[in-house]
Amino acid sequence: MILSDRDLKERLDNDEIVIDPLLDPDKQIQPASIDVRLGKEFVVYKLPHVAAIDTRDPDSTRGYTETVTIEEGESFTLHPGEFVLGTTLEWVKIPNDLVARVDGRSSIGRLAVVVHATAGLVDPGFEGRITLELSNLGRVAVKLYPGMRISQLVFHQMTSEAERPYGPARGSKYQGQQGPTPSRISNDIDE
């Protein structure tokens, strides 16, 4: 079940869902989602200088990325075929009985910009700024501006509250992230 604008407003008023700052509720709260804005930090991937990224070696990506901060009023140019990590301006907190999906806004998608490659799920219990996986699938560069509404969160009611929500008790590696956060897959312990 997807939460409606009425349910979203009630959950926001009761601090069950936190979107901070929610600068313009009239624009950001949609009939079935909440628009979130683009932050000012980006993780840019440089041309590869390694033969491969080793998912078990946290050092295999050393020097492969750089963080770029865009000043107020300036833009970030996303070139055709480029992949970068962005972040939401807002700090988000998801209650233990909801899951959120990150989707691109239609107006952004119509410019051939996608906001997530595969990581569109925000788990119950997550707190932090959401890392966006930005790609330009088009043939023309697109200028993105910090503060613009870039994506939307769609909230789904779970059948019951999560028994083990995302967070410190699970060793969740992205809890509390402050900006665009590169992969921490090497922290996975898979047997």
Cβ atoms 158, 139 nearer than 8 A: no
- Token duo for residue 171: 């060793």
CB count, 10 Å around CB of 87? 25
Residue 105 assigned to a binding site: yes
Active site residue 133: yes
Residue 5 assigned to a binding site: no
| DSSP letter string, 110-175 | TTTEES-SS--EE-TT-EEEEEEEEEE-SSS-EEE-TTSEEEEEEEEE-SS--SS-SSGGGT-TTT
Distance of CA 36 to the CA centre of its chain: 9
> Which residues, at least 6 apart from 145, have a Cβ–Cβ distance to it below 8 Å?
38, 74, 75, 76
- Checking if the pLDDT of 157 tops 70, the result is yes
Cβ atoms 147, 38 nearer than 8 A: yes
What is the tens place of the pLDDT at every residue in 59-94? 766 677 899 999 989 999 999 999 999 999 999 999
Cβ atoms 99, 156 nearer than 8 A: yes
Residue 33 assigned to a binding site: no
What is the tens place of the pLDDT at every residue in 91-147? 999 999 999 999 999 999 999 999 998 878 999 999 999 999 999 999 999 999 999
Q: Residue 56 — very low, low, confident or very high, per pLDDT cuts 50/70/90?
A: confident
Rounded CA-CA distance 125/95 in Å is 5
Among the options 90, 133, 163, 191, which is catalytic?
133
Question: Strand, helix or coil at 43?
Answer: strand
Bond preceding residue 25 cis, omega within 30 of 0 = no
Residue 170 assigned to a binding site: no
Residue 186 assigned to a binding site: no
Q: Residue 166 — very low, low, confident or very high, per pLDDT cuts 50/70/90?
A: confident
Could you tell me the domains of the chain?
5-46+60-161 (2.70.40.10)
Q: What value does the mean pLDDT take over residues 148-167?
A: 94
